[in-house]
Structure 1
Amino acid sequence: MNVLILSEKLWPEGSGGELATYLYAKLLIENDINVKVIISSTSNYFKAWSELPIYKIPVIGYSKYTVVPMFKKLRELFKWSDVVYCADFFHAIPLIKKVFKKPVVIHVHSYFPACPVGSLYNLKENSICKLDNKNCSECIWYYERAYMKPFPQASISMLLNSTIGRSFLNFVTLTDALVFVSNAQRNLFLEHTSSLRHKSYVIYNPLPDILHIPIEGDDVGYFGGLNPLKGFPLLMKAWLKVFPRHKARIHATMLKGLSNSEQLKSIGIIPYGRLNERFYENIYKKVKVVSVPSIWQEPVSYVVIEALLRGRLLVASKVGGIPEIANGLKGALLVNPNDADALAEALDLALSMDKSEAVELGLKNRENVLKRFNNFKSAEELIRVFERVTS
């Protein structure tokens, strides 16, 4: 079987969706599937892997608002494929279906295109978007400004996403199958487009090959950056209740523009920008607890998975697909979202554990996650979807 993957970026660019796409590409090749990948980002950024053919295509525009010129090589790749597996480029689906007559499977890593910005969360009202109460333009504007986007950029995003962005859902109706990463994600997505239920599947993302790192410190790790949906303001509010009782600090990454903030450092929050792998692992050694205070219904979280595989205690919001990963783990404390008091209490409890207890629970976290999820099974289920749409 020949599988053509469409992805704007590929790991280590991007985030969890790009990582999952990369891991699936490797697993498919290991299962004797012929794989080729089309991207639009800078391919020389990727780690060299000779078995994965990557083709960079020129596009006109930015992000999902692009035009893809149909040059000769691209036509050859579509003709070569038996199935097209889309992590991005949803606007190409009508062309793939009607011109090249190829089955299309899309992997939904957020809530796009049910929501033009992929969140289905109204930041202004701090609530999940309801089908009968959508005000996309106001919501998008509030989201972009909360993300500290400049006025012109926020204005363009509001204009495009509240108009053209809402049309992408029409393209998805043409697909042969949709793959979701958690049951919670699929259920919420399909509340906004129930007609797609009959061709929807849930397949848990593959686990990355992550080694256990011994705990050397008593600190907290936060790896969500400034994205307002990731809950950094909520964590700060909770931390002010916890900080006076503990000597611990928070190591917070992806805080671009705040890495020299003396105000954060004064309350024990050590901000970093984007870190290379070696520096990141050095930070992890200092961390006993990882906090994931997300306020939206996060489809799944590789930050959660990494924390558990690294053998860390977890304090996270009980949202989206996170409980499907961490429910029942003694070393994982799940709290209601947007509840600073509950988050502070959970952080206080985790930080109060002595090192031996934290190490023991962390190792059990790792052991249980490795038992719950199986990369071979995930790849097998995805191949089965490909076989269904090509039969």
Structure 2
Amino acid sequence: MRILQINKFFYRRGGAETIFFDTINGQRARGHEVAEFSTRDCRNLPSDYAHYFVENIGEFPLGRGFLPSLSNFFKFFKNDETEKNLSALILAIEPDVAHLHNTYHNLPAVFFKVLKKHKVPIVMTVHDVWPLCPKRRLRRVLNSKLCVACRHAHLFNCACYRHRGESAGANVAGMIEPYYYRFKGIWKLVDHFICPSQFIFDQLLKFGFPKDKLFLLHNPVNLPTEPFSLGNKIVYLGRFHVDKGIKILLQSLPWLRQYETIIAGHGPENHWVENFISQYSLTNVKKIGWVDQNHWNDLMGQAKVVVLPSLVYEGSTLAILEALASGRLVVAAECGGIPEIIKNNQTGFLVKPGDPEALANAVKSAMGMDEINATKIIKNGRELVEKEYDSEAYFGHLEEVYANILANLSKK
């Protein structure tokens, strides 16, 4: 089968990119011809199709205090380079199907119509809740409850419920792109939506996406042959962003001074993290940069507990799955699709989002857990990943999705 894989970034940046590249590599290993379409960037990995890549128009600067430049603003709605390059790529490879990952903000929406113009079926993996919430949160300020105010296309609510430091102008700018998607019928052009979690599936259904277009398929996880020997440190791997709970994690650490802690990543809260560590003299905390795949195993091997204190409704958190697969104890926030993976006191530990003291207590319990009980929870976590997130099953089901779409189209 000839498959066109599309993502807005062509370098390893987060969970969506990991799934994007793992899907490409896995499909090629199974004998499929796979081409890529993305944006140009000096950090990009090599690609035989890089000459088709297009300018990264940048995201609407939601929450950054200024409106996007008019130049990039209009490129989102009308983009000759994208139409020309994608059309040329389609004519060159004649794909049977296009598989989309994260494309919003940085790739102009016109590419959906280019695919349909050339009668290429579209499958899209919904890695996060952006199709439902322009802020990718489904949550309001200081409120841990699920927010569905943008249901029925009431996207203006994202400007009404803004976080501290977000200007009204930037929030209005952030509404324009999802309004365009909805009122131009962009989502209707997608033949099938891949939902990595039941949470994503249920929310898309509640927001009016057709049930017959939704398919629950867990992300694949490469399971190490044997779990790493258990370390003795607390580890956080992720973006330094308020939505990821980095501030909540740091605020919990004064209660955890007896444990060595490593926080790995980067992001807009980088200086805040450094200042907090200095202000509270957290000499037990080591801050390192983003960890590439070559150093990931080494860092994971030092961990006894991996912490993911997200404040937003995650779809399916790859970092949690990788931690479980590696035989770590996981403490995570009870929100979104996370409780589908972490069953409290069975495969890990759940805490209320946004509560530093509760987070500290849960981490302390996990760090102090004896070997017998820790081994039991670790075993449960690995078995869950092995059963529900198997790579071979993922690729097999994905091929079924592609085949069903092609079969249905041939009947029309």
Return the TM-score normalized by structure 2.
Answer: 0.79
Q: Distance in 1 between matches of 2:343 and 2:168?
A: 40
**Residue 86 of structure 1: how far off its partner (Å):** 1.4
How many angstroms does 1:70 deviate by? 4.5
Q: 1:6 to 1:253 in 2, by over 3 A?
A: same
* Distance in structure 2 (CA, Å) of the matches to 1:25 and 1:329: 36
Query: Match of 1:69, as an amino acid?
Result: E
Aligned partner of 1:288 in structure 2 is 304
**Residue type of the alignment partner of 1:142:** H
Tell me how far 1:68 sits from its aligned partner: 5.5
Q: How many residues are matched?
A: 373
In 2, Cα distance between the equivalents of 1:60 and 1:251?
A: 33
Partner residue of 1:385? 401
Q: Which moved more, 1:324-333 or 1:163-172?
A: 324-333
Task: Name the counterpart of 2:17.
Answer: 18
1:106-155 per-residue CA deviation (whole Å, 9 max, x = no partner) reads: 1110112222232222235443222368621143x427x38xxxxxxx67
Structure 1: tracts of 5 or more residues without a match: 147-153
Check the 8 A contact 1:289/1:313 in 2, yes or no: yes
Whole-Å separation in 2 of the counterparts to 1:281 and 1:125 = 36
CA distance in 1, matches of 2:393, 2:297: 29
Residues 367 and 130 of structure 1, relative CA distance in 2, 3 Å threshold = closer
1:234 and 2:248 matched: yes
Report the CA distance shift for 1:276/1:380 in structure 2 as closer, same or farther (over 3 A): closer
Further displaced range: 71-80 or 167-176: 71-80
Assess if the C-alpha contact under 8 Å between 2:125 and 2:194 holds in 1: yes
Q: Distance in 2 between matches of 1:53 and 1:327?
A: 43
Unaligned runs of 5+ in 2: 61-72, 408-412
Separation in 2, partners of 1:325, 1:98: 36
Note if 1:225 corresponds to 2:246.
no
State the SS of the aligned residue for 1:266: coil
Task: Give the fraction of aligned pairs with identical amino acids, expressed as a percent.
Answer: 21
RMSD: 3.0
Maintained 8 Å contact 1:315/1:347 = yes
User: What is aligned with 1:106?
Assistant: 124
Q: Which segment drifts farther, 159-168 or 173-182? A: 159-168
Q: 1:349 aligns with which of 365, 371, 374?
A: 365
User: Equivalents in 2 of 1:5, 1:54: separation in Å?
Assistant: 13
**Mapping for residues 52-131 of structure 1, pairs under 5 Å:** 56-59=52-55, 61-63=57-59, 66=76, 67=79, 69-70=81-82, 73-79=85-91, 80-87=94-101, 88=103, 89=107, 91-131=109-149
Q: Which of residues 202, 206, 213 is equivalent to 1:199? A: 213
Matches within 5 A, 1:117-196: 117-131=135-149, 135-139=157-161, 141-142=162-163, 145=165, 157-169=170-182, 170-192=185-207, 194-196=208-210
Identify the structure with the greater strand proportion. 1
The letter for the 1-side match of 2:198 is N
Runs (4 or more) in structure 1 with deviation over 6 Å come to none
- The worse-fitting range, judged by mean Cα deviation, of 88-97 and 249-258 is 88-97
C-alpha displacement of 1:31: 2.8
Q: Give the aligned partner of residue 150 of structure 1.
A: none
Per the TM alignment, residue 55 of structure 1 is displaced from its structure 2 partner at its CA by: 5.2
Check the 8 A contact 1:90/1:168 in 2, yes or no: no
Moved more, 295-304 or 352-361: 352-361
Matched residue SS, 1:173: helix
> Are residues 1:243 and 2:270 paired?
no
* Cα 1:225–1:83 shift into 2, 3 Å: closer
Give secondary structure in 1 for the equivalent of 2:327: coil
- Name the aligned partner's letter for residue 254 of structure 1: G
Paired residue secondary structure (2:210): helix
Question: Which residue of 212, 215, 237 corresponds with 2:230?
Answer: 215
Whether the 8 Å CA contact 2:124–2:193 is kept in 1: the answer is yes
